[in-house]
Amino acid sequence: MTRFIHTWLFHHTLKPLILVLPTLYFTLSVEAQDKGYYTRYYSDKSLKKQAAEWCATDQWRQGFTGASPHRSVNLTEFYRQYQKNPTQWEALFKWLATTDLVNIPKGRHPIEGTTLTASVEDSHNEPLEKRRSESHSHHIDFQYVVKGTERFGLIDHYTSTPDCKYDARKDVIHYSYDKGRTQFYDSTPDRFFIFFPGDWHIAKVNNDSGNQDIRVIVIKVDYID
């Protein structure tokens, strides 16, 4: 009798579930790919809430009030990296808060007390086809446009493939990508961008304003696993 009950349960409950799981997984995978994958995903809702609350308190600013994170910034990654590497992040924001970013000479400027260097670039945007996508494994790109408008692109991981080998010396890899699956954002002086290793990006893309001249601050922060 017990054996009969076990057999009945398998055929009427477990077996149908087992048969449907591959289809369900495939459906979810297709839906995820349709939406694209642009930054590292965190499923821990408590951690995401904690990160959002921390960002909202402005504890990280160190007196810097010139700009806030763009909505594309992965706040959970920002929170986790700041906690793991407070010395560099605190020094970065203190430097931004105490420096005349518009009038400081272009070039490379060491950030006191750290190994960080702020690169001040007077540059210009270019057509998308002239710009290369990239990501980094060991560094985080902090980018803040203090004059003009720079357009950034975030490329979809699902539809992108590396078009070169990883260059360990420069800590960079480039990608072939689907333009139609790329998200574009304009960077202005009231927002800064942070590109973590999971953010495959394109910088200095032409915007629609007609003025492509920019001054941008680029600081590469160590990424802590």
Cα separation, 46 vs 49, in Å, equals 5
Domain 66-222: state its class: mainly beta
Q: Are 98 and 92 in contact (CB under 8 A)?
A: no
Q: pLDDT by residue (tens digit) across 192-210?
A: 999 999 999 999 999 999 9
Q: pLDDT by residue (tens digit) across 91-145?
A: 999 999 999 999 999 999 999 999 999 999 999 999 999 999 999 999 999 999 9
DSSP state, residue 171: T
**The pLDDT of residue 197:** 98
Cβ atoms < 10 Å from Cβ of 114: 17
Taken as a whole, the chain contains a residue count of 225
pTM: 0.85
Q: Supply φ then ψ for residue 191, to 5 degrees.
A: -140, 145
66 has pLDDT over 80 = yes
46 has pLDDT over 70 = yes
State which amino acid sits at residue 180: G
Q: In the beta sheet, which residues pair with residue 144? A: 192, 217
Domain boundaries in the chain? 66-222
21 has pLDDT over 90 = no
Cα separation, 149 vs 222, in Å, equals 26
Cα separation, 154 vs 114, in Å, equals 29
Quote the distance between the C-alpha of residue 223 and its chain's center.
12
Q: Are 148 and 178 in contact (CB under 8 A)?
A: no
- Of residues 56 and 23, more confidently modeled: 56
Cα separation, 177 vs 180, in Å, equals 9
146 has pLDDT over 50 = yes
Pair of tokens at residue 8 = 């009945």
